[in-house]
Amino acid sequence: MAIPPTASGSSALIPDVLEAEQERSSAALTAFKRFSPPTFNGDVKDPWLVESWLATMEALFEDIYTLEKDKVHLATHYFDGSARLWWTQVKKNHSLEPASVTWEGFREMLLMEYFPESDKRKIKEDLRKLRQGSRTVREYEREFTRLVNCVPSLVHGDRDRAEAFECGLRLEIFKVIHAFRLKTYEEVLDRALWVERGNAIAREEREAFEKYKERDKSKKRASSGSARQSSSKRPPRPQRS
């Protein structure tokens, strides 16, 4: 039976498409290797090691504009030891293709495996208690992000993240931010930095004004002292007979 032209054409294109995709994927891996990404062996179940490795990968993805469909394939290429065995088993048990797994889904699976529940409970508690205190907004933001990345299930969506971050801000900043009723995490962070900078400028101006007043007082005291000293040195008036 003769094959219809359309069917013949599409079947002939499939190998070409697959070959082109393989070449593209290989080129992406070659480019990725140039940056010497760190390996993850998973021999020690330390949540901070997992988070640090994930953060490094995500920063690299952003720097070289990695496609979403390439992220899991590139990252798992740098698995070693027990982590490589774990990933092989996951793919086998769930019949997974790396290209079909989103980065968020992969991140969640990895944290579930290498993040003990006891550590997760402690970090959840640390996140609930986290306050800015004497930190700068940037220092507080880094600690907040580190904890949230380890327990993403605790913060549901951008709005929830924004509210959690806002609640931990120092009171003088929180009062201003809360009045704006901001909706996104990016807006809250940006406005908190803005308020912090404004407070710092106001504080510098107050300190400069206080120093100016103190110098002015010192000058007046010095001037008054010299006037008294000058009057005490005047010769006595002659007495009239």
Q: Which of 63, 86, 116 is the last residue of a domain?
A: 116
Q: What is the pLDDT of residue 165?
A: 95
Is 86 or 155 the better-scoring residue by pLDDT?
86
pTM above 0.85, yes or no: no
DSSP 95: T
For a pLDDT cut of 70, what percent of the chain falls above it?
85
Distance CA 40, CA 61 (A): 16
Residue 150 shares a structural domain with residue 104:
no
233 assigned to some structural domain: no
Is 213 or 114 the better-scoring residue by pLDDT?
114
Q: What is the pLDDT of residue 141?
A: 95
Please name every residue paired with 79 in a beta bridge, in sequence order, or none if there are none: 40
Say if residue 98's pLDDT is above 80.
no
In this prediction, residues 222-236 reach a mean pLDDT of 63
In this prediction, residues 103-125 reach a mean pLDDT of 84
Distance CA 77, CA 209 (A): 60
What is residue 79's three-state secondary structure? strand
Report how far apart, in Å, the C-alpha atoms of 194 and of each of 134, 141, 143, 201, 204 are: 17, 14, 19, 11, 15
Residue 111 shares a structural domain with residue 131:
no
Would you give the distance in Å from CA 192 to the centre of its chain?
A: 15
Under a CB-based contact definition with an 8 Å cutoff, are residues 109 and 90 in contact? Answer: yes
Q: Which domain holds residue 181?
A: 126-213
Say if residue 237's pLDDT is above 80.
no
Q: Which of 116, 138, 155 is the last residue of a domain?
A: 116
Residue 73 shares a structural domain with residue 130:
no
For a pLDDT cut of 90, what percent of the chain falls above it?
30
Residue with tokens 């930095």: 193
Return the biggest CA–CA distance within the chain: 152
Total residue length of the chain? 241
Of 28-32, 78-82, 119-123, 228-232, the one with minimum mean pLDDT is 228-232
Task: Write down the mean pLDDT value for the chain.
Answer: 82
Q: What is the pLDDT of residue 120?
A: 79
Residue 110 shares a structural domain with residue 130:
no
Is 46 or 7 the better-scoring residue by pLDDT?
46
Q: What is the pLDDT of residue 5?
A: 45
Helix (H) or strand (E) holding 116: none
Residue 96 shares a structural domain with residue 146:
no
In this prediction, residues 64-82 reach a mean pLDDT of 89
Q: How many domains does the chain have?
A: 2
Would you give the distance in Å from CA 67 to the centre of its chain?
A: 21
Say if residue 11's pLDDT is above 60.
no
209 assigned to some structural domain: yes
